[in-house]
Structure 1
Amino acid sequence: MGDRVKVPGAFLRRSPLLRCLAIYGDMPGRFLLTATLLAGVNIALVGQQVLVGHAVQEAQHGKLVRIGPDGLLDYDRAWFWVALLLALSLARAAVQYGAGLLSLSIGQRLLTILRERILVQIQRLDLAYHWRHGVGEMVTRMTRDADKVRDALINFWRQIFETGLIIAISLGLLWVYSPWLALTPALLLLAGIAMLWSEADALVALDRRIGDAYDAVTQDLSEGINGVRVIKAFSLGEARTARFQRHVDLFRAEARAAIRHASRRVPLPQTIIALSHAWVLGFGAWMVAHGTLGLGALVAAMLVVNMLVLRIEGIGRLLQVIADARASAARIWEVLDAEPVIQSGGKALPAGAIGFRLSHVSASPLGDGAAVLRDLHLEVRPGEVVALVGATGSGKSMLTSLLPRLVEADEGRVELGSQAQGWQDVREGDLRELRRRVHVLPQESFLFSDTLAANLRLCAPDATDAQLHEALDKAAAGELLSRLGDGLETRVGDRGATLSGGQRQRVCLARALLADADILVLDDATSALDARTERRAIDNIRGLRNGRARPLTMLIVASRLSTALAADRVALLSGGRIVAEGTHQQLASDNAAYRALMGL
């Protein structure tokens, strides 16, 4: 992934949250401007407390309000301090407002970058990865986990940066008044922060469990929405609701466990930090009594230490947020660091008409050695139409996925080309070109929630309306437009919900034809069509094949006799191998397994 975060060392690789923080390097100007504004705000805040102390000091010595020569009270000095403090407060508020807006802006930009990179990575990863991880898990990492990382990082760098300034300035000011005023609060702060930090790993583990429970909730919700027709058809509403409730209850239990842990462990270190108040007040009062510290200085010291303690107590809450975000960041980087098994080659594919050949191929869906295909051999010549038949679960879909490298063969070679121009292993070819020239149309007809025209143009963005009409006609879907009120601009709904199963399959077939591939694989992609419509579509594709400069090679996964009859040749898949090949008439005459499979 070309736009990945550059990791400067092994330390950052072990720190997922810091790796996310490094994304701010993509916006250095805004980040530095925000940091500068926040530094000004916090310096002004400490300065404001010091000025209050000076005003109190002047009041103690009778300089704030004086009696004039005429016997009247002179408030000029008091109004000076009021005007100065008010002006400083207004200026600080204006700068803080701007810094807050900039902080939110770069936080949203960070969230956008994270989600874009997750989405790009999800598209890069092979199908086996997606089979191992559910939709709910991917959605959770892009939404909940990304949001938690964004919130933590905004608070992290702002509060760590701001609190660091406050600590340095405040302790420095207390040191100026008296080293003992600064030393004890410093030790208490270190002890409290150390105790808070020691709880971070436990909070991370708890949040990891919360995240896993939330994955289950999201997955169940996704399945409940996508499978609503099945749920209604079989009256599964109560059972699915009970299942969802169990997942929600588990999520709530894990969340409560994390809250209980934080409630027990966080207050003690916050109490230790708060003892700084007592020390500054007690020791400062002793110094005032002995004349080594002015009353105004004591007031300023109390205001400063109060601000310091409040900020450090905020760090306690921040550490809990960061602990949660560390688990979310780790889950995000698990996705971003995953390397796809399937890598693109560098060679161009053969330029002319191409067929394909599989030699000694073995493959397993998850790459775990549980082979579905075993020592398989099959060759399809350029321009040939071959029907692939086999019992349910025999590996037909696995075989079709090997051609565009949606999954990878564990053993053997998958090659494109011909006897005349030679064969090239698909692993050596450019992956983008391979999937452009080898188009697999699955049985599941997926349409995006957009217009009919937008769905058709996915593979041919520059196609004219006339070409869209022609592709629909070739897919035996020409009459579909007359039934749609807005024609090509009709919105088809979520996953094409406004269309029937057969209509969706024909629209997907038209989209595949617009891709102008050299090898077209129909993985039971006409199963929802009646035999007459299916035959008309296949005959139209044959006509299209004959009119092309390069002949179109087709592999059709068939489960019906009508599909097998439309092919030049039939290959029978059984036990992970091609056990018989020939025309329909030959197999019907000589192969009992084929006759049983086709119901002859």
Structure 2
Amino acid sequence: MGERGFPQGSPLLRCLAIYGEMPGRFALTAVLLAAVNVALVGQQVMVGHAVQEAQHGRLVAAGPDGVLHYDRAWFWVALLIGLSLARAAVQYGAGLLSLSIGQRLLTILRGRILTQIQRLDLAYHWRHGVGEMVTRMTRDADKVRDALINFWRQIFETGLIVAISLGLLALYSPWLALGPLVLLAIGIGLLWSEADTLVALDRRIGDAYDAVTQDLSEGVNGVRVIKAFSLGEARAERFRRHVDLFRVEARAAIRHACRSIPLPQTIIALSHAWVLGLGAWMVAHGALGLGALVAAMLVVNTLVLRIESIGRLLQVIADARASAARIWEVLDAEPVINSGSAPLPEGPIGFRLSHAAASPLGDGATVLRDLSLAVQPGEVVALVGATGSGKSILTALLPRLVEVDEGRVELGSAETGWRDVRTSDLHALRRRVHVLPQESFLFSDTLAANLRLCAPDATDDELRAALDKAAAGELLARLEDGLETRVGDRGATLSGGQRQRVCLARALLADADILVLDDATSALDAQTERRAIDNIRKLRAERPVTLLIVASRLSTALAADRVAVLSGGRIVAEGTHEQLSQDSAAYRDLMGL
């Protein structure tokens, strides 16, 4: 078993093992399908017996008065019709159950993928695009579901039909069963030999589909940029190229299947000729009855049709094997960052970084090196640095969104002691350290629902108070539906500054001890930004909130208690604005002084 209870082995078989979570439905479906297939062969055997009776004149008999009696004929008709109706009802129930199981499996798979995506750290998401994750949840999961539903309708049923049919033929004559057995083995062997090639082809199709999904996602999410720079035609051409590549790969897979599958199907179909030729010879020599030959032909016809469908199923299985492998690549990925168990210190907390180094992508490209910075509880510190200097990576170290490679990141205070974030409970850590990124992300829901994400029990009055603290109190007056206004996809109905203030209000509702604004007020004017920071300062009277602000404007630096200058992956200067204006050339250059 895998670390999280997933079985190891073939990716598709690992998906099939999820059926173990619904053993009752699985067993019932298997029993019903077995009954359906036994009944099908039974019908064919009954037809053979009816023909045998007709051959001997017992199906329709003449009475002493010369009147024909159809009692025996009506018996077989009633028996066959009754068995057909019963088989149809059972097959209908088995079909519904198999579809239900398939949908349940799809739900389980998608739920596990989503849970795993949330578990994985930011570095994983930076290496893999949105399109790739969406493809795993949609196309790949659907293909696996389709294959496992076909498992019931094709593999399981066909296996039963093969076993029952060959057994019945062997009862009539071992020689009748030998030909189909050999031909089936050759045909299935040829079909199976093509499976790996089809998997490789579908893998290429999946990669091409990832590019299509990623481009589509970027085209929708970046529609404002595309329109602003009149990039519609260029993006459409780029999308067409990705679609064309997907179509080329899909055609290559279809061409290969069309070349490789007909030959084994033809070999399997020769079973008809074997049973008909040998059976006719045996009937002529009295070794086999005519009714038995008819039954044998019906059985082998069903057998050949079922096996021929395996060829079509092979493409589905090959697709699903590739998709299952891609799904398990995500499910088997282990997050670099794992939770500790130690509680954080009670009361107000600050943070300190000691000789910290970080390479966020894990590729050895160090962004921060030998960085030390201490911020006391309740202090407001501005962090300034050139573009690309690693400010966002530094802020991500505090809630362990990114892990340090060297050094320590600690929370606490001189009074309560310091706790290394790597030993702390991750959920508690991220509840008490809230990082507000520059990208103001709002969900496609109401304003109230977005605000309550971190405080689900907050009252409307508390929501309004949080908006006031974020200098967004006047926003409600402009919205016709107030807190129940739907903000659209990513908050599209609000301006950039409004989105930033709503996100700040949401962060304040989280009631964190350390609040990090990663250039999260960049869309605000200086006066509004200062008002929001002053409102946060006032919280000191109730409970000190430690505030780290990534600043790119002089007005932000002026609002802080002190400023830290980041350059070359290190803190190169600290102090008040007045001190740094006198002593730090780097600070003067950054602030344009």
TM-score by length of structure 1 reads: 0.98
What is residue 580 of structure 1 aligned with on the other side?
573
Q: CA contact under 8 A between 2:98 and 2:152: conserved in structure 1?
A: no
Alpha-carbon distance in 2 for matches of 1:329, 1:527 = 43
- Structure 1 stretches of 4+ with a deviation exceeding 4 A read 1-5
Identify the match of residue 384 of structure 1 among 379, 395, 399.
379
Q: How does 1:30-429 map to 2 (within 5 A)?
A: 30-429=25-424
Alpha-carbon distance in 2 for matches of 1:257, 1:34 = 37
Alpha-carbon distance in 2 for matches of 1:364, 1:5 = 31
What is residue 589 of structure 1 aligned with on the other side?
582
Is structure 2 residue 489 aligned with structure 1 residue 489? Answer: no
Q: How does 1:494-533 map to 2 (within 5 A)?
A: 494-533=489-528
Secondary structure of 1:392's aligned partner: coil
Deviation at 1:423, TM superposition (A): 1.4
Alpha-carbon distance in 1 for matches of 2:557, 2:457 = 35
Identify the match of residue 532 of structure 2 among 533, 537, 540.
537
Which amino acid is the alignment partner of residue 6 of structure 2?
K
CA displacement 1:458-504 (0-9 Å, x = unmatched): 00011111100100000011111111111111110000000000000
5+ residue gaps, structure 2, are: none
Alpha-carbon distance in 2 for matches of 1:421, 1:77 = 96
Q: CA contact under 8 A between 2:470 and 2:502: conserved in structure 1?
A: yes
Alpha-carbon distance in 1 for matches of 2:394, 2:3 = 33
Is structure 2 residue 441 aligned with structure 1 residue 440? Answer: no
Alpha-carbon distance in 2 for matches of 1:34, 1:69 = 52
Which amino acid is the alignment partner of residue 6 of structure 1?
F
Between 412-421 and 289-298, report the one with greater CA deviation: 412-421
Secondary structure of 2:399's aligned partner: coil
Alpha-carbon distance in 1 for matches of 2:72, 2:2 = 63
Alpha-carbon distance in 1 for matches of 2:36, 2:554 = 78
Secondary structure of 2:521's aligned partner: coil
Q: CA contact under 8 A between 1:5 and 1:22: conserved in structure 2?
A: no
Alpha-carbon distance in 2 for matches of 1:473, 1:545 = 17
Which amino acid is the alignment partner of residue 74 of structure 1?
H
Alpha-carbon distance in 2 for matches of 1:159, 1:341 = 41
Deviation at 1:2, TM superposition (A): 11
Which amino acid is the alignment partner of residue 148 of structure 1?
K
RMSD value over aligned CA atoms? 1.2
Identify the match of residue 467 of structure 1 among 462, 466, 473.
462
What is residue 569 of structure 1 aligned with on the other side?
562
Which amino acid is the alignment partner of residue 162 of structure 1?
E
Between 242-251 and 159-168, report the one with greater CA deviation: 159-168
Deviation at 1:5, TM superposition (A): 4.6
Q: CA contact under 8 A between 2:346 and 2:416: conserved in structure 1?
A: no
- Change in CA separation of 1:564 and 1:536 when aligned onto 2, cut-off 3 Å: same
Which amino acid is the alignment partner of residue 589 of structure 2?
A
Secondary structure of 1:579's aligned partner: strand
5+ residue gaps, structure 1, are: 8-12
Alpha-carbon distance in 2 for matches of 1:376, 1:188 = 72
What is residue 549 of structure 2 aligned with on the other side?
556
Deviation at 1:422, TM superposition (A): 2.0
Deviation at 1:592, TM superposition (A): 1.8
Which amino acid is the alignment partner of residue 595 of structure 1?
R
Secondary structure of 1:255's aligned partner: helix
